[in-house]
Amino acid sequence: MIIPTYLLFMIGVLGAVDILLYHAISHGIRSHQDSRAELIVHSLRGPTYAILFLVVPNVALYGGFFWALVGLLAVDALISMVDFALEGQSRQKLGGLPAGEYVLHMVIAMVFGAMVASVFWEAGSHAGMPTAFHLIKAGAPELIRVVLAVMAPIVLYSAFIDARAAVRLGKTK
């Protein structure tokens, strides 16, 4: 899946900017009690994107595996909706959600929607096939595939840090 791989790469880069610039540097949400619920939601996103970063550029999914991918994309969309709903209250004592972060989230959501559409465009015909998967190269440059593979453990680590912060903040009530 060539186009989904490029779009996923864009999401990864934009997501990294969001985490570094807004979550860590600007607001430091991992140290604010009011951000605990948001951190829990963020910790769910890490495994989702780790799987996407490894699967989309490297695996052709058929039948049930294709629908599992669609399910994973639906779960991520739900995580995003819950995250968007929590952010206003989570950041209220920090001056609110910065306009730049709000715009960045909108851009990420649009790119995500384009990625989902491109998954159906490029692989939708796999939905009715017998359940199977094959390791493949997506047709994207090797460098992008490697960068996505490197992003997978990084996003998992970020999710772990968010979960650990949420647990710590829960103990300091």
What is the pLDDT at residue 64? 97
User: Which tens digit of pLDDT belongs to each residue from 65-103?
Assistant: 999 999 999 999 999 999 988 888 877 777 877 888 889
What residues contact residue 123 under an 8 Å CB cut-off, 6+ apart?
1, 4, 60, 61, 66
Range of the structural domain that residue 158 is part of: 2-171
Q: Where residue 27 falls among pLDDT bands split at 50, 70, 90?
A: confident
Determine the Cα–Cα distance for residues 137 and 85; give it in Å rounded to an integer: 37
Determine the Cα–Cα distance for residues 62 and 60; give it in Å rounded to an integer: 7
- Counted domains in the chain: 1
pTM greater than the 0.75 cutoff: yes
3-state DSSP assignment of residue 60: strand
Q: Does the pLDDT value for residue 120 go beyond 90?
A: yes
